[in-house]
Chain A
Amino acid sequence: MSDAVPVTQPADQVRLGNFESQVFSHTPALLRTAVRMCGNAAEAEDIVQDTLLRAWKYWDRFEPGTNCRAWLFRIMINVIHRRREGLEAVAPHLSMSEPEMTNVLRFESKIEMDENGTAAALAKLPSEYREVLMLVLVEEFSYKEASAMLNIPMGTVMSRLHRARQMMMKFLKRGASQAG
C-alpha cells in the first residue's frame, strides 16, 4: 500500500467503508472458486480483482439486507463467462468444453500438487459442469440461486450436477486404478 493516502470526500469514505465491511470478507471464497473454475492462480486473482472493482462500480445497485455473497458470485460468474467468450472468440479451436484440452492448457503443474486427485478430476470436467459443482457443492448455494447466477433453468442445474458427479466418480475411479 502506498504511503500517500489519496484525499477523498467524507461520503466516499463512508461508502468505501461500507463496501469493504460487506464485500472483502467474501474474497477468499471468491478466489477459491475462481482458482478451480479457471485453473490458473494468477488469472483467478485477476478475475477476483475485476469482480470486486465491478462490485464497487455498481455498489449503489446492491440492496442492503440481500445476499451479498450471492451478488458477488453472480458478478464473478459473469466476469468468467465474458472472459471465456473472449478467449473462444480469439481461439475458437481451444474450446473450453473439451476437458482434456482444458486440463493440458490451463492446469499446468497444479495436478501433481493435489494428493487426492480430486482437483485433477474436477479440472477434467467441462467448464459448465465444473462451475455448477463449485457453486452447489462448495459454496452451498441452492439450486435456485445457482440457476439465477448461471442464468439457466433449474432443470439444467440438476442435470448438469448429476452428470458432473457421474463424471467425477468416473475420473476418480480411473485415477485410483492407475495409481494402484
Chain B
Amino acid sequence: MNQMQCTNVRELLSTYVDSELDPVTSLRVANHLEGCVGCRQEFEQFAQLNRLFKGAAGVFVDIEPTLTGRAKAINDRVRNKILSELAAVSPAHDQDDSLSEEFFPPVIKKTSPATAHPVGIKRWFPPKFLKKLALVAATVVLTTLLGFTGLIYWAHYSGTLMAGTVRTHWVCTQLDHLGLYRTTPEQTQNLLLRYQIQAPDLSAVGLKFQGVHQCKIAKADFAHLVYLDHANQTVSVFYGGQEAIVKLREQAGTVTPQTVFTKQDGNMRVTAVCTANQDHLWMVAGVLTPEQIQIVTNSICLR
C-alpha cells in the first residue's frame, strides 16, 4: 500500500471523521494517522468539533432548555390551523397547485385559505389530473386542427391541376362522407346559377348527381359537382372558368379546344376537358373505365 502524503490525508480528514470514506481509503488514512503527529492533531480537532455539535451542551446550549416547549407550541399552532382549515374547506383551496413546481411548491400564502384534504369530485379527480387531461385534450384538438388545415392546403392549394384534382377528389369525398359538404337543393341551385352551368346528365354511365360545392384546385376556383355510381362510389366533376384555363395553360402549354388530358393515379383516372370556346374547363376524377371517361367527356363537350 502506498504511503499517503499529509496534503492528501488532510483533504480526506473531514470525510474520514464522518466515516464516509470507502474502506480501502479509510484504512490508508488510519495508517497514516498512526505515524503522523500533525495530521493526527488535525483529526483530533475535527473529532472534537463533531462532539461539540452532537452534544447538547455545545452549539445548542442557548436553545436546548426551551426547545421542547417551543416545539410543542408550534405543533399546537399547526394542529389548530389545520383543524380550522379542514372545517372551512374551500373549493378554491387547491387552485394554486402547479405542474411546473419542482419537488415542493412555493411558500403557503398566510392570507389564503390553506389546503385541506380534497373532498367530493376533487378526491377522485385531483386538479393535477384535470389539468393533465385538459392539456392532452388541447393538444389533440390543436394537432387535429393543424392536420386538418394542412390537409385542406395540400388538397386545394398545392401541386398541378391534375394532381390537385386527385387530392381534392379524395379530401372532398372524405369530408362529404362526414356530411360537411352536403348541400340543400336550394343551395345547389344557387351555386349552379352562380357558375352559370347545369349539372351534366351522366346517367348514361350510371352516375347520379348529388350536389355541388365551391372548391379550389391548385389555387384556382372550381365548382365541385359530386356524383355517385351504382356502388355508391363518388365521382367528382369539377368546373372551372377562365382562371382555371390560364392555370392549365401555364402547366400544360398549348390548350386547344376539346383538348383532353388524362392522368392515371392508382386506380383513379383523372381527365381534364377543355371545352370548345376555351373559356371553361371541366375535369373528372373517379374510378372510371376509359369507356366511361369517353362517355362522360362527350356528355360534357356536347353541352
Using a CB–CB distance below 8 Å, which chain A residues touch chain B? 1-2, 5-9, 11-12, 15-16, 19-20, 24, 27-28, 30-32, 35-36, 41, 45, 48-50, 52-54, 56-58, 74-75, 78-79, 82-83, 110, 113-116, 118-119, 122, 133, 136-138, 140, 142-143, 158, 161-162, 165, 168-169, 172
Using a CB–CB distance below 8 Å, which chain B residues touch chain A? 11, 13-15, 18, 20, 45-46, 49-50, 52-54, 57-64, 67-68, 70-84, 86-88, 103-108, 114-117, 119
- The DSSP consensus for interface residues of chain B is helix
Contact A6 B84 (CB under 8 A): yes
The complex places the Cα of A110 from the Cα of B55 at a distance, in Å, of: 19
- Residues from chain B with a CB closer than 8 A to the CB of A49 are 74, 77-78
Give the contacting residue for B58; candidates A12, A28, A110, A118; CB below 8 A: A118
With contacts A11-B117, A113-B62 known, is A58 near B104, CB below 8 A?
Answer: yes
6 A-B pairs closest in CB distance = A6-B87, A162-B14, A27-B71, A137-B53, A113-B62, A28-B71
Given A7-B87, A53-B82, A56-B78, 14 additional A-B pairs, CB 8 A: A1-B79, A8-B86, A15-B117, A20-B75, A32-B64, A45-B74, A49-B74, A49-B78, A50-B108, A54-B107, A116-B57, A118-B59, A137-B50, A162-B13
The complex places the Cα of A32 from the Cα of B15 at a distance, in Å, of: 24
Contact A53 B81 (CB under 8 A): yes
The complex places the Cα of A12 from the Cα of B119 at a distance, in Å, of: 10
Contact B53 A31 (CB under 8 A): no
Cβ-Cβ contact count across A and B, 8 Å cutoff: 146
The complex places the Cα of A32 from the Cα of B61 at a distance, in Å, of: 11
- Residues from chain B with a CB closer than 8 A to the CB of A137 are 18, 49-50, 53-54
Contact B61 A9 (CB under 8 A): no
The complex places the Cα of A57 from the Cα of B98 at a distance, in Å, of: 13
Instruction: Please list 29 pairs of residues, one from A and one from B, whose beta carbons are closer than 8 Å in the complex, sorted by A's number.
Output: A6-B84, A9-B117, A16-B82, A20-B75, A28-B71, A32-B67, A35-B63, A36-B60, A50-B107, A50-B108, A52-B78, A57-B105, A57-B114, A57-B115, A58-B104, A78-B104, A114-B62, A115-B61, A118-B52, A119-B62, A122-B59, A133-B53, A143-B18, A158-B20, A162-B11, A162-B13, A162-B14, A162-B15, A169-B49
